Structure 1
Amino acid sequence: MEAANKLVRNLMTLAALVAVSACTSPHYLVKTPSIYSERETGYETSDIAEADKTATPAIYFFTDRSRNQTEKPEKTFGPKRSNVMVFGKAETVFDRLKGWPHLVSISSSARRPNKVPLRITSVGIEAEFPPTPFGLARINGATVVDPKVLVQFEESASATQSIFRQELFSKKTDEVLLYVHGYNTNFRDSILNLLDIWHFAGRRGLPISYTWPAAHGGLTGYFADSESGEFSIFHLKQALRLLMGMPELKRINIIAHSRGTVLISTAIRELVIEARAAGKDLKSALKIHNLILAAPDMDYGVVQQRLVAEQLEEAHHQITVYTNEDDVALSLSSFLASAQRFGKLRAEDVSEKEQQMLALVEGVAFVRVADLSSFIGHSYYRKNPRALSDIAALIRYEAPAGSPLRPLESAGPSFWVLPKEYYPEPK
């Protein structure tokens, strides 16, 4: 009875949070991760490229959202689907600050005199890809993709890769940070969520958001968002192939949240099948260094059969899964699907046989984030200073779990707990 009452309370809380999120409230810079606020070094800048030392950075994006007729840049794209994938750039600003030094200062402190709004100031379309499915033509008795469509695709791909080359060169990096958002996330927040993460991950790599058609609104919008995620997988694979096909790009770090974890894991699975069929080395072909799955809204049984059984870990240097058994949104998802969600997994949920298997697999870690406020909920990976600190240490410093910069508590083979007393290096 108590469990049922708790579920009802959780559903009511989630309904209220969804209603609030539908409002156009300002997007404020998240709290400073403890890795900066609790260390003498603060927010370090020596490893940040000069071109990135700015309070007005650009975030690149791929999207297959429908385009709106509006003068408001944050509403350039809506929740509806488009058969056309576009590549673009969003100019952003850390508002109400006195430039880069001021931003560095507040990024080193747990306390700020004022909130810092993040805004999109302009959005530009750099390339537009031909609609999918591609048009067909009959040539020499065979049905093939229309050569004109292929030319258009190659022109758009070349333009996109040219921009990436210029940016990688100017920032003296060979990495990108790709973000795939989750359920009920609009275009604005798909850009600004990444801005939060990229900034506190030391601005490592070129930031790219893959923003798919989400934020249909309301509880029933969950189903619309989920179907739109399935719709978007082909375009996500196109974007990944563009990145993986660049010799100048050596490393792709990926952060996916909520339903976005379904998109990225499905896309990667299909690319792995292609690479294996072609006899390629998976790590060098896909270039994925870190794959971070935050609060994954995935059926755990499906994960076992489609990802674990097919040994997708062979395609990554490191896979890190952040979980929280009290995640209200995932409680609803579990209820609707009648299946355990991957993002609520605990060490005790894994059988002894599965734990023995995990002990043999390198580069996989499950991090349970303990003692979270219900108001942070499903976005804890970004809004909780401890969780974001762990992600920052993983991406920026490549710190392994259990190291001084990531003092996680071991909970068994491949399982860790991020405790309430998590501080990387006390002053």
Structure 2
Amino acid sequence: MLAVLSGCGGRAVTGLQAGVSGEKSAAVVPIFLATNRARSDNPALPYSAERSQMLNFAEFDIGIPGNHMPGRVETSSRVPDPARQFAALDYRPIEDRKRFVAALNAALAKRAPADREIFIFVHGYNNNVAESLFRNAQITHDYGINSVSLHYAWPSGGAIPLYVFDRDSVIVGRRGLAETIEIAAQTNATNVVLVGHSMGAYVVMEALRDLALSGRQRYLQRFGGVVLAAPDIDIDAFQSQADDIGKLPQPFTIIVSRRDRALGFSRRIAGGHPRVGSGADIALLQSRGITVLDVSELEGGTHSVFASSKTLMKLVDNSRLMRATLDDEKASTEPSALAASAAAVEGATSLTLFLPARLIGRIATTTPSQ
């Protein structure tokens, strides 16, 4: 059972060991890191599973191998070959928050005005720091994200039997993510996009709750979008979190799958309580102003389909569809635009879009495969 829950990767190492050269990498993706993992003297994993009471900051250059297949993260448990595996080619610790903000601003200034956005990714259960960094780089590369990528690594134990340890680490990690969001909001970014996967979605909701309850709601207004992919959150706990947050950042999107085996086992561990990511109560999510994307029939509807689906990658390339799906306040969004955009992408008929209840009547939500 736990083996299925471990669908977030194997035991990769960074490749920071001596002898690794980036000359064989086909592409290099810069990833900024904020983490409340403790620093380690081990270059293979420079941040451990130990919990830190303060944030650590760094910037990594992640090499994408020439044989990379979109949606996959090719890794090695030994010193990686950059021609065949993901590898960290450079690692620059950043001393403090002030210098971290300056580094983010410098990266933003190098981008075109339309791309001066910060993309924050929060990993799921059973990840060490190498695996989570590589997943962030894979998403950034495969989806063609031109934003500044900022990875938040909470202290997952990175081991299959440590599910309960990871659930406890969510609580430890929430303030660190709240601070990371605050930092991103204080930069020169035009907006911030936040994506949490699996148990990382729990960290996201707890961080948003922390910001709201501590009087820092203004930072929630800096979001250009929040996405929870396969959230491993009890539906009742989610309602409580949403109540505490109040008005959720908009647009707010949740990706669900009724065929997600990992969340099925998580539900069993939790005594049968349904998980948000299983699509247990879509109507409830719609009533809270949330857009729901059902990927149950998309490429197996697996736990990590959000990161590996070629169909979703093509949809992201289709700006008309993404505007219609995520920017749901635009009056120009029409059912015809959704249908025409989706029809242009092979595999889009496997998707079902449920728009927020407030839009029902203004935008059709009954058209299959929107």
TM category (shorter chain) comes to 0.7 to 0.9
Cα pair distance change 1:65/1:413, threshold 3 Å: closer
Aligned counterparts of 2:317 and 2:367: Cα–Cα separation in 1:
14
**Residue 125 of structure 1 corresponds to which residue in structure 2?**
93
Distance, in Å, in 2 between the alignment partners of 1:395 and 1:171 is 22
Q: State the match for 1:56 in structure 2.
A: 28
Structure 1 residues not aligned, in runs of 5+: 1-10, 28-53, 98-102, 108-114, 128-155
Q: Which moved more, 1:116-125 or 1:229-238?
A: 116-125
Partner of 2:192: 252
1:240 matched residue in structure 2? 181
361, 365, 375: which one pairs with 2:291?
Answer: 365
1:378 offset after TM fit, Å? 1.6
User: How many residue pairs were aligned?
Assistant: 321
Asked which structure has the greater RCO (Cα within 8 Å, sep 6+), the reply is: 1
Q: Distance in 2 between matches of 1:64 and 1:396?
A: 36
Alignment pair present for 1:333 and 2:291: no
Q: Kindly provide the CA deviation profile for residues 279-324 of structure 1, in whole angstroms up to 9, marking residues without a partner as x.
A: x7x5x753011100000000101212320x3464x34221110011
Post-superposition offset of 1:193:
0.9
Equivalent residue number for residue 57 of structure 2: 87
TM-score by length of 2: 0.75
In the alignment, is the contact (CA less than 8 A) between 2:31 and 2:133 conserved in 1?
yes
Asked if 1 retains the 8 angstrom alpha-carbon contact of 2:220 and 2:249, the reply is no
1:346-383: CA deviations, max 9, x gaps? Answer: 5xx456xx48xx36x65x21111123566x73211112
SS of aligned partner of 2:251: strand
For residue 398 of structure 1, report the CA deviation from its aligned partner.
3.2
String of CA shifts for 1:174-201, please: whole Å, max 9, x gaps: 2100000010111112111111211233
Q: Distance in 2 between matches of 1:380 and 1:336?
A: 22
SS where residue 326 of structure 1 aligns? coil
User: Which secondary structure state, in structure 2, belongs to the residue aligned with residue 367 of structure 1?
Assistant: strand
Q: Distance in 2 between matches of 1:240 and 1:330?
A: 27
Deviations 1:45-102 (A, max 9, x none): xxxxxxxxx8122111101112222233xx11122212231110111112237xxxxx
SS of aligned partner of 2:94: strand
Matches within 5 A, 1:185-264: 185-219=127-161, 221-246=162-187, 248-264=188-204
Counterpart amino acid of residue 180 in structure 2: A
| Letter matched to residue 236 of structure 1 | L
Residue identity matched to 2:152: Y
Q: What's the secondary structure of 1:182's corresponding residue?
A: coil
- Structure 2 runs not aligned, ≥5 long: 16-25, 71-82, 327-334, 343-347
Task: Please tell me whether residue 181 in structure 1 is matched to residue 106 in structure 2.
Answer: no
For 1:122 and 1:207, locate their aligned partners in 2 and report how far apart those are by CA, in whole Å.
Answer: 16
- Letter of the structure 2 residue corresponding to residue 212 of structure 1: W
Identity across the alignment (%): 19
* 3-state SS of 1:405 partner: helix
1:71 is aligned to 2:6: no
CA contact (8 A) 2:39 2:46 kept: yes
Quick check: 1:367–1:418 contact (8 Å CA) kept in 2?
no
Instruction: Tell me the equivalent position of 2:21.
Output: none
Over 3 Å counting, the alpha-carbon distance change for 1:411 and 1:228 in structure 2 is closer
RMSD over aligned CA atoms reads 3.5
Answer whether contact 2:315 2:321 (CA < 8 A) is retained: no
Distance between the aligned counterparts of 1:168 and 1:25, measured in 2? Answer: 29
